[in-house]
Amino acid sequence: MSMLSNIIGFSLFGLAARFGQLGIQKRNFFDNPGGHAIAMGAFGFIGYWAHKWDERAGELLAAKRAQIAAHRQQEQAASSEA
């Protein structure tokens, strides 16, 4: 998933959470649009962070897989020599 779609998705979830909050309080949805922007910005940042975390986790997993494969090759070479 691209970073932009991740940020937009989380931002829309933040907007939905804000509307849910105002619905529970039975307040007007369009009374304070600044609150909507803050909620969308905060959730958008969480989406950006989640995307970066996913990329970093993929890099760490790839490095660990390469390390495990190299270790297995060394063990196979040592066992075939013995």
Q: Which residues contact 10 (CB under 8 A, 6 or more apart)?
A: 43, 44, 46, 47, 48, 50
Give the total number of structural domains in the chain. Answer: 1
pLDDT tens string 18-70: 999 999 999 998 888 999 999 999 999 999 999 999 999 999 999 999 999 99
Integer angstrom CA distances of residue 62 from 3, 49, 50: 20, 20, 18
Q: Is 49 in contact with 11 (CB distance < 8 Å)?
A: no
Residue 1 is predicted with a pLDDT of: 63
pLDDT the model gives residue 82: 62
In which domain, by residue range, is 15 found?
A: 3-81
Q: Which amino acid is at 31?
A: D
